[in-house]
């Protein structure tokens, strides 16, 4: 039986699932791919990134990487498939007059740390009248498609080979197949804040900061790995109601919104029928 | 789902702080006492009264007090179960802390009045704590590994107390005769493995992923560790009590298996951590795991050679207690205490204005020096004891005391809110 070749638009996770030893092929092309040896980062990043996007991030030719992966699998050379530039999805020119929130990840990336959770936290807290200004040491191409699914458009500017600016802002509504974390039919008055990659007390701090600017009637959905026991009494003190959803094994959702003015004591948000 | 009870984690800060403050004083006293008894340890004289007194400053004073304090804070977080009677927590420490001081002084000086008063207060504190935490566990909505580990550990604590009372009675009557040494060995293992290590293993299933950001790691080795350590303690105790050698060896093998399972589990958490650089707390914990492995290696040697080689038994105790358990708890002290102080101090300001970070509350540089000094201290103590070299053991004890002083200074800095903002 003929095995299908690796293609530029295959997810890195799917490629590695075919043969874990292909990590070595990636690493031979660029030391950037050393991170794939870390099981946690592999689980987080490899499922989001295509081979073509990974090659762009690492600054290596995608067709050479695809060819080397196929060679390692013993698959004869194939015609490169037409590049699927999902990364460019959602590119635009940033709107004027919005408040800019800067997230500088350059030192984090140079230190070899994983920035995804910080990015998603910042995105979760991003208001409609704000623009997130991301600074990175390479073009964060895989993010474009991920954030496009959350309804964010972007503009990219390269200052130097290791200095990039990307601005993200809420633009066109999210497509129907929006990301796996956020339900497809997310109500428009909900904001999501994923704090799973943060060490206490950062989840509490970021949640409370996001709540400070939460308009009445809107709900902040905190995505956590556990029930945030230290946060709950503070929410009650500050006049927020909450509802905890532990129905999924790998995460806890805390739906938070301002208490109605007539309410006199802290109470959970009424259960959705 | 119903709203959680609001008498949860933040309400438990005060009892936890009371316990941690008292524990730190006991650690300091124990470290000073260690310098005093180091030559006796190096000569293998672990039965000397003052060695027993100093040992209780670590086991009851530092470990048990810290664990009680940590349970006040962690049970609501780990098991979604607010501590049943918060006021009992205050009453418990009010009886337990002076009790430990009197008891340790009484044992060290052979003062009958002191240790009788001490054991009465210690018993009061322990019984109140067991009742409080037991009632808390009974109301926990889920019974996972952490629940079972804490429940089994509370049983071991009660057993430790009973065995301790029997040993104390023996000091006056000698009724145990030649069984004294075996009962002492059972008392030590039920206390250190059944109580302290079981709590550590159970809580580590929650704390290590949280502190290392290593979520989604397979937890099966942790379950094996809890099962082997709990069962191994009982089997070893039966083997020693009944003088059935194969049973004692089986128990030892199970305990070593439990330690290995815990090390495998902890290694998995460390390997899967997102943040590669270890902070002070997690560095202490990693070092403690190495000492725990050393103690597990010495365990079978002690069983094979006892009572002919008392220095090996002393070194085993030092590696396991000071290196494996005390340093592990010191590491978690660095994670838990600054966090509690930070929440207590900045809860009204967080999210509204810029506040210092938790790491700003203590000096990372001092913590690093302290880690080096305490690790070297335990290493020198173990090596000096194995070699029978009193000077080496005393130098080790001095280093350990110096490190403990640094921890006390850090604790004072955290409590007083003296901090230097990070750059």
Q: Judge contact between A9 and A50, C-beta under 8 A.
A: yes
CB contact under 8 A, A40 and B8: no
Measure in Å the smallest separation between the Cα of B72 and chain A Cα atoms: 13
The C-alpha angle A221, A225, A226, rounded to 5 degrees, equals 90
DSSP string for A175-236? PTT--SSS-TT--TTEEEEE-TT--TTHHHHHHHHHHHTPPTT-EEEEEESS--TTHHHHHH
Closest CA to A3 of A69, A102, A82: A69
pLDDT tens-digit series, residues A217-233: 888 888 888 888 889 88
Query: For chain A, how big is the Rg over CA atoms in Å?
Result: 21
Residue A5 lies in a domain: no
B403-407 long-range Cβ contacts below 8 angstroms, 24+ apart: B403/B31, B403/B370, B403/B371, B403/B373, B403/B374, B403/B377, B404/B27, B404/B28, B404/B30, B404/B31, B404/B374, B405/B28, B405/B31, B406/B366, B406/B367, B406/B369, B406/B370, B406/B373, B407/B24, B407/B27, B407/B330, B407/B333, B407/B370
Architecture label for domain B6-347+354-416: Up-down Bundle (1.20)
Supply the pTM of this predicted model: 0.72
Distance CA B215, CA A225 (A): 8
What residue in A sits closest to B358 (Cα-Cα)?
Answer: A201
Q: In this predicted structure, which of A30-44, B11-25, B382-396 has the lowest mean pLDDT?
A: A30-44
The C-alpha angle A252, A147, A223, rounded to 5 degrees, equals 10
Closest CA to A44 of A139, A167, A146: A146
Residue A226 lies in a domain: yes
Q: Judge contact between A204 and B350, C-beta under 8 A.
A: yes
Measure in Å the smallest separation between the Cα of B77 and chain A Cα atoms: 6
Record the tokens describing residue B358, joined without a space: 């938790």
Neighbouring CB atoms inside 10 A of A73's CB total 17
Distance CA A207, CA A231 (A): 9
Q: Which of A39, A230, A245 is opposite residue B343, by nearest beta carbon? A: A230
Q: Which chain A residues have any C-beta within 8 angstroms of a chain B C-beta?
A: 39-41, 43, 111-114, 117, 196-201, 204-212, 225-227, 229-230, 232-234, 236, 242-246, 250, 266-268, 271
β partners of residue A159: none
Distance CA A266, CA B3 (A): 9
Asked whether residue A261 carries a pLDDT value surpassing 60, the answer given is yes
Q: In this predicted structure, which of A29-38, B181-190, B224-233 has the lowest mean pLDDT?
A: A29-38
Residue A111 lies in a domain: yes
pLDDT tens-digit series, residues B34-84: 999 999 999 989 889 999 999 999 999 999 999 999 998 888 888 878 888
Asked whether residue B419 carries a pLDDT value surpassing 80, the answer given is no
Residues A211 and A146 in one domain: no
CB contact under 8 A, B351 and A205: yes
Residues A190 and A264 in one domain: yes
Residue located via tokens 């955290």: B414
Residues A76 and A18 in one domain: yes
Residue A6 lies in a domain: no
Average of per-residue pLDDT across A8-28:
83
The total domain count for chain A is 3
What percent of chain A clears pLDDT 90, i.e. is strictly above it? 3
- Give start and end residues of each alpha helix (H) in B174-219: 180-189, 198-212
* b/e B209-239 (16+ beta carbons within 10 angstroms → b): bbbbbbbebeeebbbbbbbbbbbbbbbbbeb
Residues A17 and A95 in one domain: no
CB contact under 8 A, A199 and B275: yes
Q: How far lies B117's CA from each of A97, B61, B99, in Å?
A: 74, 16, 7
Residues A110 and A199 in one domain: no
pLDDT band at residue A161, thresholds of 50, 70 and 90? low
Domain that holds residue A67: 12-83
Q: From A170, A192, A214, give the residue that closes a domain.
A: A170
Average of per-residue pLDDT across A58-86:
71
What percent of chain B clears pLDDT 70, i.e. is strictly above it? 96
Q: Judge contact between B258 and B250, C-beta under 8 A.
A: no
Residues A74 and A138 in one domain: no
* Coarse DSSP helix, strand, coil percentages of chain A, rounded to the nearest 5 percent: 35, 20, 45
SS3 label, residue A258: strand
* Eight-class DSSP state of A11: B
Q: From A34, A56, A83, give the residue that closes a domain.
A: A83
Residue A7 lies in a domain: no
CB contact under 8 A, B4 and A232: yes
Measure in Å the smallest separation between the Cα of A84 and chain B Cα atoms: 31
CB contact under 8 A, A245 and B1: yes
Residues A255 and A182 in one domain: yes
Contacting residues of A for B422, CB less than 8 Å apart: none
Residues A20 and A56 in one domain: yes
Q: Judge contact between A166 and A124, C-beta under 8 A.
A: no
pLDDT recorded at residue A269: 45
Distance CA B108, CA B115 (A): 9
Residue A271 lies in a domain: yes
Asked whether residue A80 carries a pLDDT value surpassing 60, the answer given is no
Measure in Å the smallest separation between the Cα of B274 and chain A Cα atoms: 7
Closest CA to B100 of B185, B171, B32, B161: B161
What percent of chain B clears pLDDT 90, i.e. is strictly above it? 73
Residue A2 lies in a domain: no
Q: Where are the domains of chain B?
A: 6-347+354-416
Pairing of β A152-160 and β A130-136: unpaired
Asked whether residue B353 carries a pLDDT value surpassing 80, the answer given is yes
CB contact under 8 A, B272 and A199: no
Distance CA A53, CA A4 (A): 20
pLDDT band at residue A111, thresholds of 50, 70 and 90? low
SS3 label, residue A268: strand
Query: For chain B, how big is the Rg over CA atoms in Å?
Result: 20
Q: Which chain B residues have any C-beta within 8 angstroms of a chain A C-beta?
A: 1-4, 6, 8-11, 76-77, 80, 210-211, 213-216, 271-277, 339, 342-343, 347, 350-352, 355, 358
Asked whether residue A213 carries a pLDDT value surpassing 90, the answer given is no
What residue in A sits closest to B210 (Cα-Cα)?
Answer: A199
Mean pLDDT of all residues belonging to chain A: 75
Residues A258 and A202 in one domain: yes
Q: Which of A117, A197, A201 is opposite residue B343, by nearest beta carbon? A: A201
Q: Cβ contacts of residue B394 below 8 Å, gap of 6+? A: B35, B38, B39, B42, B384
CATH classification of the domain holding A128: 3.30.110
Measure in Å the smallest separation between the Cα of B285 and chain A Cα atoms: 17
Asked whether residue B278 carries a pLDDT value surpassing 70, the answer given is yes
Neighbouring CB atoms inside 10 A of A191's CB total 23
pLDDT recorded at residue A251: 80
What residue in B sits closest to A233 (Cα-Cα)?
Answer: B6
Residue located via tokens 């470990």: B63
What residue in A sits closest to B344 (Cα-Cα)?
Answer: A230
Residues A146 and A233 in one domain: no
Measure in Å the smallest separation between the Cα of B219 and chain A Cα atoms: 14
CB contact under 8 A, B80 and A205: no
CB contact under 8 A, A233 and B216: no
pLDDT recorded at residue A91: 61
When scoring B2, B3, B83, B341 by the number of chain A Cβ atoms within 10 A, the one with the most, hence best to mutate, is B3
pLDDT recorded at residue A14: 79
Distance CA B266, CA A14 (A): 29
Residue located via tokens 């492995």: B293
pLDDT band at residue A62, thresholds of 50, 70 and 90? confident
pLDDT recorded at residue A92: 67
Q: Cβ contacts of residue B409 below 8 Å, gap of 6+? A: B366
CB contact under 8 A, B211 and A199: yes
CB contact under 8 A, B8 and A229: yes
pLDDT recorded at residue B408: 95
Residues A79 and A138 in one domain: no
Asked whether residue A87 carries a pLDDT value surpassing 60, the answer given is no
Residue A137 or residue B298, greater confidence = B298
Residue B280 or residue A113, greater confidence = B280
* b/e A59-69 (16+ beta carbons within 10 angstroms → b): ebebeebbbbb
pLDDT tens-digit series, residues B176-186: 988 999 999 99
What residue in A sits closest to B216 (Cα-Cα)?
Answer: A250
Residues A43 and A94 in one domain: no
Q: From A120, A149, A170, give the residue that closes a domain.
A: A170
CB contact under 8 A, B216 and A266: no
pLDDT tens-digit series, residues B91-145: 999 999 999 999 999 999 988 899 899 999 999 999 999 999 999 999 998 889 9
Residue A102 or residue B393, greater confidence = B393
């Amino acid at each position: 039986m003929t095995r299908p070749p690796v293609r530029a638009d295959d997810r890195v996770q799917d490629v590695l699932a075919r043969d874990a030893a292909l990590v070595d092929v990636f690493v031979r092309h660029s030391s950037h791919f050393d991170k794939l040896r870390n099981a946690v980062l592999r689980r987080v990043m490899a499922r989001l990134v295509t081979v073509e996007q990974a090659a762009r991030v690492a600054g290596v030719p995608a067709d050479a990487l695809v060819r080397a992966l196929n060679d390692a699998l013993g698959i004869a050379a194939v015609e490169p498939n037409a590049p699927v530039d999902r990364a460019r999805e959602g590119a635009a020119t940033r709107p004027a007059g919005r408040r800019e929130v800067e997230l500088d990840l350059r030192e984090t990336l140079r230190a070899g740390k994983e920035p995804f959770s910080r990015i998603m936290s910042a995105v979760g807290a991003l208001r409609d009248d704000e623009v997130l200004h991301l600074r990175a040491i390479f073009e964060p191409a895989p993010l474009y498609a991920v954030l496009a699914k959350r309804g964010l458009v972007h503009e990219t500017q390269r200052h130097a080979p290791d200095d990039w600016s990307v601005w993200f802002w809420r633009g066109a509504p999210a497509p129907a197949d929006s990301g796996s974390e956020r339900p497809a039919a997310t109500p428009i008055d909900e904001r999501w804040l994923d704090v799973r990659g943060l060490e206490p007390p950062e989840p509490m701090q970021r949640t409370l900061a996001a709540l400070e600017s939460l308009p009445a009637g809107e709900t902040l959905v905190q995505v956590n790995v556990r029930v945030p026991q230290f946060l709950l009494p503070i929410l009650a003190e500050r006049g927020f109601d909450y509802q905890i959803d532990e129905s999924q094994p790998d995460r806890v959702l805390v739906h938070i919104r301002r208490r109605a003015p007539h309410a006199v004591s802290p109470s959970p948000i009424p259960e959705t029928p | 789902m119903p709203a959680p009870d609001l008498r949860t984690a933040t309400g438990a800060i005060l009892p936890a702080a009371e316990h941690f403050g008292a524990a730190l004083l006991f650690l300091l006293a124990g470290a000073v006492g260690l310098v005093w008894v180091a030559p006796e340890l190096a000569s293998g004289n672990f039965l000397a009264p003052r060695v027993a007194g100093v040992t209780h400053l670590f086991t009851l004073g530092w470990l048990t007090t810290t664990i009680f304090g940590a349970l006040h804070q962690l049970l609501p977080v780990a098991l979604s179960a607010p501590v049943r009677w918060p006021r009992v927590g205050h009453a418990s420490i009010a009886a337990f802390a002076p009790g430990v001081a009197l008891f340790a002084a009484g044992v060290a000086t052979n003062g009958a009045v002191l240790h009788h008063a001490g054991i009465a207060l210690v018993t009061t504190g322990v019984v109140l704590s067991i009742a409080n935490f037991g009632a808390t566990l009974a109301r926990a909505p889920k019974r996972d590994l952490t629940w079972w580990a804490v429940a089994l550990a509370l049983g071991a604590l009660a057993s430790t107390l009973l065995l301790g009372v029997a040993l104390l009675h023996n000091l006056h009557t000698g009724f145990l005769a030649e069984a004294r040494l075996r009962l002492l060995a059972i008392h030590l293992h039920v206390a250190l493995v059944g109580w302290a290590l079981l709590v550590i293993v159970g809580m580590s299933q929650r704390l290590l992923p949280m502190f290392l950001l290593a979520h989604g790691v397979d937890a099966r080795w942790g379950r094996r560790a809890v099962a082997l350590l709990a069962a191994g303690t009982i089997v070893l105790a039966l083997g020693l009590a009944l003088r059935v050698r194969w049973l004692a060896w089986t128990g030892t093998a199970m305990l070593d298996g439990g330690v290995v399972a815990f090390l495998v589990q902890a290694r998995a958490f460390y390997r899967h951590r997102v943040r590669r650089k270890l902070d002070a707390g997690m560095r202490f914990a990693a070092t403690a795991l190495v000492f725990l492995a050393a103690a597990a290696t010495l365990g079978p040697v002690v069983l094979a050679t006892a009572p002919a080689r008392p220095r090996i038994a002393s070194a085993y105790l030092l590696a396991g207690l000071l290196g494996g358990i005390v340093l592990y708890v010191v590491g978690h002290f660095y994670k838990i205490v600054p966090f509690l102080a930070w929440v207590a101090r900045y809860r009204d300001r967080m999210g509204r204005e810029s506040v210092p970070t938790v790491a700003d509350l203590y000096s990372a540089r001092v913590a690093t020096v302290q880690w080096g000094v305490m690790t070297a201290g335990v290493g020198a103590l173990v090596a000096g004891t194995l070699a029978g070299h009193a000077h080496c053991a005393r130098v080790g004890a001095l280093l350990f005391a110096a490190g403990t002083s640094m921890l006390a200074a850090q604790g004072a800095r955290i409590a007083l809110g003296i901090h230097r903002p990070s750059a």
